[in-house]
């Protein structure tokens, strides 16, 4: 889409909403991810972290209950990674959302309530993120 606002509004097209309702939802969603001032900015002018937050705003505009995030911090610099993770945490708490987060970065386990460890496409373990991190690190160490 050509602009941030149009990108966030894209998922609302099928919902048969009035123009005023679409504008309201777009502004609300952009406010939630702290990017309202970028509503008219071209998509190509955004950083990677801003693009990730715009994608989240699109889901929020549709009043989703679950965010499915597949490697959302990939290709982001360390500061943008932390900003995105903490932004999602705030949204989860404020809006009573569930965020399912796919990642290979063990440090992101510090921000979750629970975790699943997958091996060969199957759930190998689930539960406390710190316990799973230790299990994974022990497995990796024994394979060296």
Q: List active site positions.
A: 71
Name beta bridge partners: 127.
115
Between strands 98-102 and 66-70, the pairing is parallel
Of 72, 70, 47, 54, the residue nearest 3 (C-alpha) = 54
Identify the three-state secondary structure at position 66. Answer: strand
DSSP track, 76-124: --HHHHHHHHHHHHHHHHHHT-EEEEE-S-GGGGGG-S-EEEEETTEEE
């Amino acid at each position: 889409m050509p602009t941030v606002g149009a990108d966030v509004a894209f998922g609302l097209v099928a919902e048969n909403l009035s123009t005023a309702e679409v504008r309201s939802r777009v502004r609300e969603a952009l406010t939630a991810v702290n990017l309202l001032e970028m509503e008219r900015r071209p998509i190509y002018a955004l950083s990677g972290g801003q693009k990730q937050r715009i994608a989240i705003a699109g889901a929020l505009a549709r009043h989703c209950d679950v965010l499915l995030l597949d490697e959302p911090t990939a290709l982001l610099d360390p500061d943008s990674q932390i900003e995105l993770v903490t932004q999602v945490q705030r949204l989860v708490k404020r809006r009573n959302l569930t965020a399912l987060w796919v990642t290979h970065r063990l440090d992101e386990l510090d921000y979750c309530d629970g975790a699943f460890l997958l091996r060969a496409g199957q759930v190998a373990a689930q539960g406390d993120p710190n316990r799973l991190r230790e299990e994974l690190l022990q497995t990796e160490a024994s394979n060296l």
